[in-house]
Amino acid sequence: GATIGILGGGQLGRMLSVAAARLGLRTHIFEPGAAPPAADVAHQLTTASYDDADALTAFGKSVDVITYEFENIPTSALDLLETLAPIRPGRQALATSQDRLTEKDFLQSLGLQTAPYADITDMGSLTSALDKIGTPAILKTRRMGYDGKGQARINGRDAAADALAAMGGAPAILEGFVPFSHEVSVIGARGADGAVACYDPGENVHADGILRTTTVPAKLNSGQRTDAVLIAAKILNALDYVGVMGVELFVTPQALIVNEIAPRVHNSGHWTQNGCTICQFEQHIRAVAGWPLGDGSRHADVVMENLIGSDMDRVPQLAGTDAAIHLYGKTDVKPGRKMGHVNRIIKAG
Ligand code: ATP
Ligand code: MG
Ligand code: MG
């Protein structure tokens, strides 16, 4: 069978490797960090830096297609790798989602709604952006932010200077605060043949900037549910995308506002492992391997709960319940670290 190269050996790379193995495919993980969660399930592991051209070349030559579990891969590494094997999802999806400013411009160009936003380079641009957008607002680094890191809330003008200092000189964007009632996400997939399939939207609850639970079905009326799926399909088609994508949406009475997109399998799609015949990991592997997409219809109501840091202490108790337990094999427990998740079937469909 074919070999799928995966950039990144975290839990997403791990679960992609398990799905690939079930389809009779091999995976080769490239990961700079030592002892990554995917190591014990991948067929092959390369531990090397993204600056190591020899290691990247050997990796690229050993695989049939390259995919990734995170979006912040250095451009120089991608330039080299794309000469050796196709990268799916493609460069346009990566370039668009690596930078919050590029991402918002792209979403606006499709006629989709986002929070009001402005490019921030210094105190002058922040002051004029606050004149236009008002408060409350959120200042975010343009690149590399995740789990709410690299963000500072600006509740009033007097908080502006501290928020800018918190960016540490990194390029940033200011976003107006969206008064949403709740957050949902669509996990969408597009095959190499252009077919699109979206999972039923899930409703996301965050705590301290980290995803806590995803519940399906989300609280949406039928118009909103259709809108959510159409938004995801529009983004997938515009990027000529191949693979699974996460699209985060804010729900307001007037409209669905696109928060951000992730060009990969997504934490808010973990419920599909126990709520669908074909989960997001298998769907992604199918797409990047050039297989037809599978049936992603939902057969149950599910609550996915992340196990973060000391939540691991609850595993013995959870093992005595009906919850499906997914652990990532991480040995050191740290506050805020995603250690695993559980899926609870609320009602069989
Ligand atoms: P992720 O881990 O999902 O990649 P992230 O660090 O990229 O997160 P965002 O998704 O941009 O950060 O923001 C994290 C959370 O902060 C959102 O899910 C939402 O709850 C809140 N938030 C972010 N931007 C806004 C906004 N403009 N208005 C209101 N709330 C916001
Ligand atoms: Mg993000
Ligand atoms: Mg987010």
> 285-306: per-residue pLDDT in tens?
999 999 999 999 999 999 999 9
Residue percentage of the chain with pLDDT more than 90: 96
Q: For atom 9 of ligand 1, which residue has the closest CA?
A: 148
* Sequence-separated (6 or more) residues with CB below 8 Å from residue 101: 117, 119, 142, 171, 173
Q: How close is the Cα of 248 to the center of ligand 1, in Å?
A: 9
Do 200 and 306 reside in the same domain of the chain?
A: yes
Domain presence at residue 228: yes
Residue type, 273: Q
Three-state DSSP class for 176?
A: strand
Q: For atom 25 of ligand 1, which residue has the closest CA?
A: 177
Residue 27 host element (H or E):
strand 26-30
Q: How close is the Cα of 185 to the center of ligand 3, in Å?
A: 9
Domain presence at residue 103: no
Considering the chain, what is the average pLDDT of its residues? 96
Domain presence at residue 57: yes
Domain presence at residue 248: yes
- CA–CA dist 63, 42 (Å, integer): 13
pTM of the model as a whole = 0.96
Q: Binding site annotation covers 254?
A: no
Residue type, 220: L
* Tokens standing for residue 265: 């399998």
Do 202 and 332 reside in the same domain of the chain?
A: yes
Of 66, 87, 108, which residue is a domain's last?
87
- CA–CA dist 294, 275 (Å, integer): 14
- CA–CA dist 80, 212 (Å, integer): 37
Of 176, 193, 208, which residue is a domain's last?
176
Q: Binding site annotation covers 103?
A: no
Which atom of ligand 1 is nearest to 150's Cα?
A: 6
- Say which CATH number the domain at 139 has: 3.30.1490.20
Domain presence at residue 106: no
Do 343 and 221 reside in the same domain of the chain?
A: yes
* Sequence-separated (6 or more) residues with CB below 8 Å from residue 272: 187, 199, 278, 279, 280, 283, 296, 298
Do 26 and 169 reside in the same domain of the chain?
A: no
Of 176, 195, 222, which residue is a domain's last?
176
Do 168 and 309 reside in the same domain of the chain?
A: no
Tell me the H-state helices in 147-244.
160-166, 222-238
Structure-model confidence comparison of residues 147 and 277, the more confident one: 277
Tell me the ipTM for this assembly.
Answer: 0.98
Q: Binding site annotation covers 148?
A: yes
Q: Binding site annotation covers 282?
A: no
- Say which CATH number the domain at 297 has: 3.30.470.20
Average pLDDT value for residue range 237-243: 98
Taking the CA of 138 as reference, the closest ligand is 1
Q: Which residues surround ligand 3, an ion (CB under 5 A)?
A: 248
> 169-212: per-residue pLDDT in tens?
999 999 999 999 999 999 999 999 999 999 999 999 999 989 99
Taking the CA of 206 as reference, the closest ligand is 1
Domain presence at residue 32: yes
Pick the closest to residue 268 from 211, 199, 208, 327 (CA basis).
211
Q: Please list every protein residue whose CB sits less than 6 Å from any atom of ligand 1.
A: 115, 138, 145-149, 175, 177-178, 183, 206, 209, 248, 259-260
Do 232 and 152 reside in the same domain of the chain?
A: no
Taking the CA of 147 as reference, the closest ligand is 1
Average pLDDT value for residue range 144-168: 94
Do 44 and 144 reside in the same domain of the chain?
A: no
pLDDT at 241: 98
- CA–CA dist 267, 214 (Å, integer): 9
**Please, which pLDDT band fits residue 106 given cuts at 50, 70 and 90?**
very high
- Give the pairing of strands 117-120 and 172-176: antiparallel
pLDDT at 37: 97
- Rounded to 10 deg, the angle between the 280-288 and 11-22 helix axes is 70
- Cα-based angle 3, 44, 341 (whole degrees, multiple of 5): 95
Average pLDDT value for residue range 308-331: 97
Pick the closest to residue 336 from 144, 143, 185, 149 (CA basis).
149
Do 126 and 268 reside in the same domain of the chain?
A: no
Taking the CA of 184 as reference, the closest ligand is 1
Which atom of ligand 1 is nearest to 140's Cα?
A: 11
pLDDT at 348: 58
Q: How close is the Cα of 73 to the center of ligand 1, in Å?
A: 21
Do 27 and 147 reside in the same domain of the chain?
A: no
Q: Binding site annotation covers 227?
A: no
Do 170 and 219 reside in the same domain of the chain?
A: no
Q: Binding site annotation covers 140?
A: yes
pLDDT at 146: 87
Beta pairing partners, 44: 28
Domain count, the chain: 3
Instruction: Judge whether residue 349 has pLDDT over 80.
Output: no
Q: How close is the Cα of 118 to the center of ligand 3, in Å?
A: 18
Average pLDDT value for residue range 119-133: 97
Do 196 and 295 reside in the same domain of the chain?
A: yes
Distance of CA 222 to the CA centre of its chain: 25
pLDDT at 148: 87
> 43-95: per-residue pLDDT in tens?
999 999 999 999 999 999 999 999 999 999 999 999 999 999 999 999 999 99
Three-state DSSP class for 90?
A: coil
pLDDT at 147: 86
Which atom of ligand 1 is nearest to 146's Cα?
A: 6
**Please, which pLDDT band fits residue 145 given cuts at 50, 70 and 90?**
confident
Q: How close is the Cα of 338 to the center of ligand 1, in Å?
A: 17
Instruction: Judge whether residue 317 has pLDDT over 80.
Output: yes
pLDDT at 347: 76
Do 167 and 199 reside in the same domain of the chain?
A: no
Domain presence at residue 151: yes
Domain presence at residue 195: yes
| From 11, 70, 259, mutation site for ligand 1 pocket: most ligand atoms within 8 A of C-beta | 259
Q: Binding site annotation covers 79?
A: no
Q: What range defines the domain where residue 231 resides?
A: 182-348
pLDDT at 52: 98
- Cα-based angle 50, 52, 58 (whole degrees, multiple of 5): 100
Which atom of ligand 1 is nearest to 177's Cα?
A: 28
